[in-house]
Amino acid sequence: MAEKRRRYHQFCGLARALDLVGERWTLLLVREFLLGPRRYSELLEALPGLTTNLLADRLKAMEDEGFIERTDAGYQLTAVGAALEPVVMELARFGGRYLGTPKRTDRVDLSWGLLSLKRRYRGGVDLTLALDVAGTWYTLAFEPTWLRVFKSRPDRSAATLHLTLDQARALFFGGTSLAASGASVDGDRAAATAALASLLPMAFAHQPVPADSRARWTQQTPTKR
């Protein structure tokens, strides 16, 4: 039986937005789709506690509203759904102030941490890096005013970084340089180093970006993916 959706019945843009995406799990599903197309089984694995029936209800509601669509690779965001990215990023920036350290019962996923790199990007780089983190592939697609993060292997990249999970955490969240991280690099190491230098320190995942940043979070509006 499909869950009855709650409505605020207020003529207000915020209330209407919450009517559409304020149900539990919806924005976390958007977060997963920011990493690229996702299959049903992948979503269940990424979101423990989300039952299969509730996932089906949420996906149907998101598809009915035009936020996601089905493809051969799984569900993915439409242009309308992708417009939620700044909302998700700024909520994550706000919530990051209250994270502290992980509790024993908390799920920790590198994918979510890599999404936070979007909020730390200064802008000004145009290249793609491939990350092989203990056999899981990620793409960091740097564009002059935007950073795209996908949980998939790119077709081409300027360089490929091969890392253990601990090396990845040290490199992206611990302030360790590429040279000191122990990562193995295939391709253009100098380009990889320059791209990583475009990321602000970890603190800026939870703070406003500097006014001179060229990244899109400060002034520019989203475009279609």
pLDDT digits (tens, 9 = 90+) for 128-161: 999 999 999 999 999 999 999 999 999 999 999 9
pLDDT in tens, 82-108: 999 999 999 999 999 999 899 999 999
- The torsion of the CA quartet 57, 79, 147, 212, rounded to 10 degrees, works out to -120
N-to-C CA span, the chain? 34
Report the mean per-residue pLDDT for the chain: 93
3 pLDDT above the threshold of 70: no
Q: Where are the domains of the chain?
A: 13-83, 92-205
For the 13-83 domain, the top CATH level (class) is mainly alpha
Question: If we measure between CA atoms, which residue out of 47, 54, 48, 58 comes closest to residue 21?
Answer: 58
The C-alpha atoms of residue 57 and residue 62 are separated, in whole angstroms, by: 9
Q: Sort residue 167 into left (φ over 0), alpha (ψ -120 to 50) or beta.
A: alpha
Beta bridge pairs of residue 121: 199
Structure tokens at 185: 């690099």
What CATH superfamily is the domain 92-205?
SCP2 sterol-binding domain (3.30.1050.10)
